[in-house]
C-alpha cells in the first residue's frame, strides 16, 4: 500500500513538472530581462530599464532617468 502511495505521488510530481514546463517554456527568459537595472543620472537610484527613459540633454548626452522629474532637475542644474 505504501509503495502505491509513493508511486502515485511520484507520478503526480512528474505530471506537475512536465505541465509547468510546457505551459510557460520561456519563464526563465522573461524574468531575466526584467532584472536589468540602470542607474538614474540625477538621483542615483537603480530602476528597471523598462520603467525609466533615456533622454538627450542639451550637452548632447543620452542619459537614463527614472522619471520626468529627475530629467527636469538635471536640465535645470546644467
Q: Given this model, what pLDDT does residue 32 score?
A: 52
Burial class (CB in 10 A: 0-12, 13-18, 19+), 55: middle
Class of the CATH-defined domain 36-78: mainly beta
Query: How many Cβ atoms are within 10 Å of 12's Cβ, its own excluded?
Result: 10
pTM over the 0.75 mark: no
pLDDT at 25: 53
Residue with cell 509547468: 20
Per-residue DSSP letter, 27: H
| pLDDT tens-digit readout, 7-38 | 999 999 999 888 877 775 555 555 555 568 89
Percent of the chain whose pLDDT exceeds 70: 85
Cell numbers at 64, concatenated: 537614463
Where in the chain are the domains? Answer: 1-34, 36-78
Amino acid at each position: 500500500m505504501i509503495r502505491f502511495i509513493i508511486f502515485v505521488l511520484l507520478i503526480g510530481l512528474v505530471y506537475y513538472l512536465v505541465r509547468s514546463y510546457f505551459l510557460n517554456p520561456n519563464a526563465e527568459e522573461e524574468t531575466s530581462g526584467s532584472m536589468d537595472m540602470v542607474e538614474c543620472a540625477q538621483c542615483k537610484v537603480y530602476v528597471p530599464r523598462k520603467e525609466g527613459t533615456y533622454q538627450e540633454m542639451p550637452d548632447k548626452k543620452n542619459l537614463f532617468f527614472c522619471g520626468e522629474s529627475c530629467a527636469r532637475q538635471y536640465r535645470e542644474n546644467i
